[in-house]
Amino acid sequence: MTTYTATVTVRLKRGVLDPEAETTKRALERLGFELSALRSADQFEIDLDADSADEAEARVDEMAERLLANPTIHDYDVGVTEA
């Protein structure tokens, strides 16, 4: 068994309105920054023991599918590194 750290990034699907990101963008603009777009995402880091990176990724993928992301509105990425 090897200990891996998986990183799950959950973001809204393209085209789904993100009012919090819009509000944050406006706040940055009020501070005088120039930017053309701002997107927000949630990131989760998960430590787990698995026989291989593939196994770790498969398990974390299921975690994302079933809880961390809501597939109706979210896309997500899973990255795995040895801890």
Partner 1 sequence: MTVAVITFGGSNCDRDAVRSLAHVGVEAERVWHEDGLPADVDGVVLPGGFSYGDYLRAGAMAAHSPIMRDVRDAADDGVPVLGVCNGAQIGCESKLTPGAFTTNASARFQCESVHLRVERADTPWTAAYDAGDVVEIPIAHGEGRFEITEERYDDLVAEDRVLFRYCDSAGNITEKANPNGSRGNVAGILGERESVAVMMPHPERATLPDLGRSVDGQGVLSAFV
Least CB distance to partner 1 at residue 60 (A): 16
Beta-carbon count within 10 A of 28 CB: 13
For partner 1, give the closer residue by CB, 55 or 75: 75
Strands 74-82 and 41-50: unpaired
Q: Are 73 and 15 a contacting pair, CB within 8 Å?
A: no
For partner 1, give the closer residue by CB, 27 or 83: 27
For partner 1, give the closer residue by CB, 58 or 73: 73
User: What's at 36, amino acid-wise?
Assistant: S
Provide the binding-site residues for partner 1, judged by CB under 8 A: 16-20, 22-23, 67-68, 70, 72-73
- CA–CA separation, 2 vs 42, rounded Å? 26
Least CB distance to partner 1 at residue 19 (A): 4
